[in-house]
Structure 1
């Protein structure tokens, strides 16, 4: 029969071996995945993802009020009817102050979207 001190020593060594075996991770031959997967996502950081933009659309007429200072006409001022909205949009080549165009005005319905967008369809 074994002495009680030896039994305790063997039990302690066996318990330590068992715990160290459970704590180690198995070896894997697979290469590590992309680093993008290891980065925390927006939901993990506590940030809420932005909802997609919702737009309203209005068909009407856009009148060219003034041409921009730049020679490329990229900052022209337009007046959109109905609604008398004043917008900035590039002027088409060959257009002059007072020209009118069929147009589509898209306005954002929620606050995270950009400013209204003007689409010129055809000259009148």
Structure 2
């Protein structure tokens, strides 16, 4: 690989690294700096305990959007498998009690917490 950052870009990343409080975002900045230092994806993966695919993704995001593109998280959500009545019941149940573990929440209908098709 070759150096792809100019002096100003590199300094901007170094400055951002000094003030960044999130380890996740700081690691993304480190990835770009290490790539610019001709480190391989494999080596960076070992240094930072990151997947090589993530490293490639961070490089692409930086090249397309600069620091803002690198830091931006774009997570997509998936539609729930519960119907509207079940969603309502689950929301009420979550408001009414504290669960000791996620296992208690994962399948409340099988535990008898929610009754299919009826509302409290």
Q: TM-score, normalised by structure 2?
A: 0.23
Pair member with larger Rg? 1
TM-score (norm 1): 0.23
**Structure with greater strand percent:** 1
Structure holding more helix per residue: 2
